[in-house]
Every structure is written in C-alpha cells, then in structure tokens.
Structure 1
Amino acid sequence: MPQEKPLKPLPLTSTPVDAASRRAIEPTICYSVETLPRPDLSSYQALRHDLDLIETIVVPPRDAAAWKVPAAHFCRIVCSEGPQVGDLNLFNLHNLDERFYSGKTRALHGTHVGRGDQLYSNFPYLRPLATITHDTLDWYGFDEFGGAVHDVIGTRCDPYTHNLLSHGGQYHHCCHSNLTRALAASTGMELEKAESHVHDVLNVFMCTGFTRDTGQYFMKASPVRRGDYLEFFAEVDLLGCLSACPGGDCSFEHSSDAATCHPLQVEVYKPRRLPEGWAPPRQNPYDRSHGL
C-alpha cells in the first residue's frame, strides 16, 4: 500500500543547537491597539431597543443579494431558517473603490471579530465602515481546535480555486460568483467590472481556524441556529452584498450542491435618534506624499 505524501515537505536543514531558545522567544503584538480610536459602545446600545424596521431582504440559498444601509442605521444578518453561513462584502455606497479591508481589520482586531470591533476600509481611506454592536454567538469563543466564528481570514469560496482543485470543474454558485452577480444587478455594472470590486469577506457565522500541526485553514459545523444574528451600525452610507454560501453550515464541504443550504435574512433598522456624540468617521488623514 503506497504511503501518503506529507502535506508539507520535511525540512532539509539540520536543526540548530539553539533551536529551542529561538522558538521560546515570546511574541510581540504587531499593532499596539491601546491608541486605536474605539467606539463608544454604550451610545450604540442605548439605541438598540428603540428601532424601526425599514427593510427586510431575503438572501436565497446558494445565491446573493445587495442592499443599502444609510449611515447611522443598524443592520442585522439573521439565521432565519437553519444553520447557514454567509460571505459579506461592504462598500461605501457613493464610492465603490472604498470597500471592506479584511486584512487590516484582522491585523487590528484578530482573526475573528465580534461586538465592539470595527470593519475597516481599504487604503487610502482606512476608516471604520461599520461597528459590530451585537452578536448572539459571542458565547462561543475559541474551541479546543482553535475554531471561532465570524472570521476575517478566509477569502470566500470561488470558481477559480474550485476549477483548480477539481481539474476543470465549472461551478457558478461559489460565493465569489454569487457576490459578482448581485453587485452587477444592484449597480448595473457589467459582470466583469462588478467582479473587480468583489473582495475578501467577513465570513458571517462561519466557524474556522488554523490547524496547529500544518497551519491549514479549516472549517467546521457552524454553531449558528435559527434566530441568531450579527448586528452592525453603519458608520457611513453602505452598500452591502451577502452570499448564502453553497457550503450551508460548512460542516463538510463548500462549492457544491451537496450541502444542505438555507436562506439568510437581512434587516435594516432606523434608530429614533443618533448615538450621543456620534459623527461619520473622516477619511484617513495621511497626506499620501510617501516621503517625496
């Protein structure tokens, strides 16, 4: 019986005599977030129980939908029927070049986000697009495998990787394609142009992590149940785009029609007043001279 190849090649370099001491060096957090401007969560919380529902959007399984969230409104992504994860893109409604930047959000807040974390936009804007104000899965934390929910480490399932791994397969309901179709339909852009705006996502409700032996990205069955939701406050006028992933709860595979999938529901709420002291965040004030 042939032996399986290791996931990663064995090292060719001899282990140095001081390997243990090198590995024992304590890590340093890359960004000292003590100086990071933080939202006043209490001002948001004071409004949450006095909201008017102004719009409800249903995102069909294995498909996507787009919607608008005015600044200073709340938006909830709701597990409306059964366990289901969603891939979220966010844009500045008036400038689609400004969009959610998962990498910098991850660098500032960690691999998974929750209440009080802010979803930052890309360069040169780098400002909060939204603030997470409530999460009914905040009890989950990190499990024994290193898994947690609402990750900003995955990139969205896509037809290109599917084609690569399936040696030519053509699957059109990956989240990347779903988001592309929904954005094109919402904006009137040609499909190719819309695709260029689709970006790395917030994996809503998805339970993920990295294996400790090989460092591989893993997924496991989402703990989400009917009635759970993730809520955010729009810091600027937003265009949201959400795909109900073809992996369903992502318990065993994605990018196929084999998984059980459910719709997701999006609800937009208008508060009766603005948060105390709130103002829309300014674009990042770096002068963009880059030393010249």
Structure 2
Amino acid sequence: MTQAPQDADARRAVAPVICYPGDRLPPPDPALYARARAGAEKVAEVIAPPREAAAFAVPAGQFFRISSIEGPQVGDLNLWNAHDLTERFYSGKTRALHGTHVTTGERLWSSFPALRPMATIVEDTLGWYGIDEFGGSVHDVIGTRCDPYTHNLLSGGQYHHCCHSNLTRALADHTGLSLAEAERHVHDVLNVFMCTGFTRDTGQYFMKASPVRPGDYLEFFAEIDLLGALSACPGGDCSAEHSSDAATCHPLLIEVFAPQEGALEGWASPPVNGYDRSHGR
C-alpha cells in the first residue's frame, strides 16, 4: 500500500462529471409508444424453461414483454439485428449512456459501427425498486453472464447450463449455425430482473435475491427487426449462486405484441450511426 500524498483528500474531493449527459440523446416518444401499445394484439409467445434459453423474433415496430410467471427468476437477454448478427446489444455503451441499471424510457443500444437504439423500455413493474441501501438495483448492464469457462476456473468441472451455454444452444437451434459459430455471437447481456451492484468497501460486483414476483414484467418496443434469446438463469433468483443445479428455478415468458395498422404512422426505425468511419484517414 503506497503512502497517501499530502493532497489526497483534495484529490478525492474533486466533483464528478457525467460522461454522457442523457439530455443529449435522441429522445424516445413515450406518447407514440403508448398509443401503439393500447390496441396491440399478442401474436406470439415463447417460454424459456428453467436452466434453458429460448430464441424469439420481434419485427421492428412491435413490442415484447418478459414476464415472471411461476416464481422469482432472473433472465439473461441477448439481442441481435435479425438480418445481421454482427450488430448486437452493446451492454457497455448502454451502461455508459444510461447507467448501471435500466428502466422505463431508457434504451438498449447496438454495437459499433451501427450504434443505434435496438429496443426501448416502455414498462417496468419493478421501477419502484430504485437503489437500495446496499447500492443494489434491478435490470443490470454491469454483469456479463454466467459461463462455463469462469465456472471451470473457479470451481472446476464441466457445467453446461450456464447462461452463456444456454444462449449459445438457443441461437444455434434457431439459426442453424454450429455451436462454435453461434458462440461467437453470444455477448454480454441485460440481466433482466437481477438485483446487483458494487460493494462500497471493495468495489466487487454483488447479487442479491431478486424482488421479482409472478406477474412482474419488463416490456420493450423493438426499434429494429430483432432476434432475441433469453436464458432462465440456473441461479434462479440469484440469491446465493448463479451456476447451480440446486437453486430453485422457474420459467420465463416472452410475449410479442403487434400494434394495429397505422398506429405507428410517422415512425421509422432509427438509421445506423452517422459517423463516416474514415477514422481520420
């Protein structure tokens, strides 16, 4: 431990600056979403079984909802451009633009070079949770996903129902890709319903029992044609561990809703990012 300099307190007291002020982002139109959602009809549903993942498709301009239906359960969500798997959800940039946890009115952004909204959160029944006394909150974009490589590193053995493997199988089954090809497209997730934060003393990532209960849901508007995959985490509500055959796990429901014709008049999918990609050359 190095000795603190004489001006250590002054250095620590420097006020922070928000890196990406939210008021500079292209604003969503909640009134438009509300009008479109009011008359929307369910057109599809998929179940992600316990300790497994399911893939689903959502055309641009439709809504999708992820619901707890039997008991407290966390889900790991991947999203891709349905026509180009290289454009995928970018959790790091979403975190930088919105914060460590996301809720109603915030967006899931795609990877470079597109960097555009993929989906907008339109309803969150856990929005009341806020930030608790431990610094925990719900729906995080700070964790990665439980995976068999880290499990092997820390515990040994071959565990195949980590969310990473679940998502890999779901994507492979949906697209016809091999497992090796599909795995390259699996990426850091939105941890739906997961309650997480960082410890104040050591800065370590923590999880705690999710506050989700049957009937709770997180709903999105698809800004572009989406392919999604959702894993019902083997940790259940993640109150103890997240790669386990012992934790109580429950299924998650994904529903897709289509607005009435004309309900989105004037709306268009966001274009890809306008940067010219010359990189100074």
DSSP-derived class of the 1:76 partner:
strand
Q: What is residue 41 of structure 2 aligned with on the other side?
A: 52
Contact 1:43/1:276 (8 A) holds in 2: no
Q: Does 1:220 align with 2:208?
A: yes
Contact 1:72/1:274 (8 A) holds in 2: no
Q: Any residues of structure 2 matched to 1:30-109 within 5 Å, and which?
A: 30-109=19-98
Q: What is residue 180 of structure 2 aligned with on the other side?
A: 192
AA partner of residue 50 (structure 2): P
DSSP-derived class of the 2:192 partner:
strand
Q: How much identity, in percent, do the aligned residues show? A: 71
TM-score by length of 1: 0.95
C-alpha distance after superposition, 1:203-242 (max 9, x if no partner): 0000000000000000000000001000000011100100
Q: Does 1:118 align with 2:107?
A: yes
1:163 to 152, 167, 172: 152
AA partner of residue 116 (structure 2): R
Q: Does 1:278 align with 2:267?
A: yes
Residues in 2 aligned to 1:125 and 1:215: alpha-carbon distance in whole angstroms? 32
Residues in 2 aligned to 1:286 and 1:276: alpha-carbon distance in whole angstroms? 28
Q: What is residue 7 of structure 1 aligned with on the other side?
A: none
Q: What is residue 246 of structure 2 aligned with on the other side?
A: 258
C-alpha distance after superposition, 1:166-224 (max 9, x if no partner): 1x211000000000000000000010010000000000000000000000000000000
RMSD over equivalenced CA pairs, Å: 0.8
> 1:276 deviation in Å?
4.8
C-alpha distance after superposition, 1:248-274 (max 9, x if no partner): 000011111011000000000001143
DSSP-derived class of the 1:224 partner:
coil
> 1:84 deviation in Å?
0.2
DSSP-derived class of the 1:163 partner:
helix
AA partner of residue 145 (structure 1): F
Residues in 2 aligned to 1:199 and 1:169: alpha-carbon distance in whole angstroms? 23
Q: Any residues of structure 2 matched to 1:168-179 within 5 Å, and which?
A: 168-179=156-167
Contact 2:119/2:223 (8 A) holds in 1: yes
DSSP-derived class of the 1:46 partner:
helix
Residues in 2 aligned to 1:30 and 1:274: alpha-carbon distance in whole angstroms? 36
Contact 1:85/1:203 (8 A) holds in 2: yes
AA partner of residue 195 (structure 1): E
Residues in 1 aligned to 2:227 and 2:93: alpha-carbon distance in whole angstroms? 20
> 1:275 deviation in Å?
3.0
Contact 2:64/2:254 (8 A) holds in 1: yes
2:18 to 12, 15, 29: 29
AA partner of residue 130 (structure 2): G
Long gaps (5+) in structure 1: 1-10
> 1:50 deviation in Å?
1.4
What is the total number of aligned residue pairs between the two structures? Answer: 280
Q: What is residue 205 of structure 1 aligned with on the other side?
A: 193
